[in-house]
């Protein structure tokens, strides 16, 4: 099972109206076992493109993606991936959506259901298995999409703005829910958001990307004790880090030093 991913010199060009357009600059990134790593950056800077490359859905234009040392560029199946649009199938029940990944991998339905049921019961979807996605709130749908990703059973999961469309209150509930899952399952998480508070609240490390074509302008460690609480988000050190990130995002200029909060 993959535990560490290294991204070396990965860039991406797209062909648009007969011209090559650079979507992402050469990027180096290390995703270490068990960490919660966020990527923030303006819309269109290549965050989803980077995820598609790591997941093997599109090839990079340059560079290598190493999973425990093996080049996996263009190869799927090494990471769990929850796309920016959650993609629950409207004609399938929540249970049948959650077991979809296992079904595709050939896990017998009975076994898949036996694995999904306790997760649904323990992580907020008890009694919702027979409902259809349209009958659920946005937060509940995201729970289902995330449990499906979790049941794909990879050590590393990529989450692309999973809470982007939720209201503030639901979003906070879901952030705590995700942190609970993360600590229960000891997964390595790579998380895209454009919400600075969310990035700080959740992460061990934050990579800040510049505007298009995106490049990493800073890597910041968040040395804030866990478990984290809502009150932490109004502490002086949280505010200080938030302002630092806002400055980086608005200036787009490189910062060599890492900021720390404790």
**Contact residues for Mg ion (CB under 5 A)?**
47-48, 84
* Cβ within 8 Å of residue 108, ≥6 positions away: none
Pairwise CA distance, residues 4 & 233, whole Å = 30
Residue among 5, 10, 23, 144 that touches ligand ADP (CB under 6 A): 23
Nearer to ligand ADP, 14 or 132 (CB): 14
- 23, interface contact from ligand ADP, Mg ion, none, CB < 5-8 Å by kind: ligand ADP
49 is a contact residue toward ligand ADP (CB under 6 A): yes
DSSP string of 87-109, one letter each residue: ---TTS-HHHHHTHHHHHTT--H
Nearer to ligand ADP, 207 or 238 (CB): 207
Min CB(64)–ligand ADP separation in Å:
19
190 is a contact residue toward ligand ADP (CB under 6 A): no
74 is a contact residue toward ligand ADP (CB under 6 A): no
84, 161 contact by CB (below 8 A): yes
Cis peptide before 213 (omega within 30 of 0): yes
Pairwise CA distance, residues 192 & 234, whole Å = 22
- 118, interface contact from Mg ion, ligand ADP, none, CB < 5-8 Å by kind: none
Residue among 11, 26, 47, 193 that touches ligand ADP (CB under 6 A): 47
Nearer to ligand ADP, 44 or 59 (CB): 44
* Strands, E assignment, the chain: 5-16, 19-31, 36-40, 62-67, 70-71, 80-82, 156-160, 188-192, 205-209, 216-221
Nearer to Mg ion, 24 or 88 (CB): 24
Residue among 38, 46, 133, 145 that touches ligand ADP (CB under 6 A): 46
3-state secondary structure of 206: strand
**What sign does the CA torsion over 65, 151, 106, 58 have?**
negative
Would you say how long the chain is, in residues?
262
- 212, interface contact from ligand ADP, Mg ion, none, CB < 5-8 Å by kind: ligand ADP
16 is a contact residue toward ligand ADP (CB under 6 A): yes
Binding site for ligand ADP (CB under 6 A): 14, 16, 23, 43-49, 212
């Amino acid at each position: 099972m993959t535990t560490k991913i290294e991204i070396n010199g990965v860039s991406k060009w797209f062909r648009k109206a007969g011209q090559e357009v650079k979507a992402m600059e050469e990027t180096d990134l290390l995703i270490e076992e068990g960490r919660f790593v966020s990527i923030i950056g303006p819309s269109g800077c290549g965050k989803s493109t980077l995820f598609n490359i790591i997941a093997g859905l599109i090839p990079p234009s340059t560079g290598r993606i190493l999973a425990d040392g093996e080049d996996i560029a263009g190869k799927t199946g090494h990471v769990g991936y929850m796309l920016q649009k959650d993609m629950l199938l409207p004609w399938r029940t929540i249970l049948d959506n959650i077991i979809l990944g296992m079904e595709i991998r050939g896990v017998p339905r009975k076994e898949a259901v036996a694995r999904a049921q306790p997760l649904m019961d323990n992580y907020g979807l008890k009694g919702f298995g027979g409902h259809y996605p349209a009958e659920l709130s946005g937060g509940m749908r995201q729970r289902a999409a995330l449990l499906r990703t979790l049941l794909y059973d990879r050590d590393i999961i990529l989450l692309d703005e999973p809470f982007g469309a939720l209201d503030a209150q639901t979003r906070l509930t879901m952030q705590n829910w995700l942190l609970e899952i993360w600590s229960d399952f000891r997964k390595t998480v790579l998380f895209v958001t454009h919400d600075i508070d969310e990035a700080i609240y959740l992460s061990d490390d934050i990579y800040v990307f510049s505007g298009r074509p995106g490049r990493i302008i800073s890597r910041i460690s968040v040395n804030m004790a866990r478990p984290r609480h809502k009150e932490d988000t109004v502490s002086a050190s949280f505010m200080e880090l938030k302002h630092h990130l806002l400055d980086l995002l608005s200036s787009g200029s490189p910062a060599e030093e890492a900021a720390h909060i404790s």
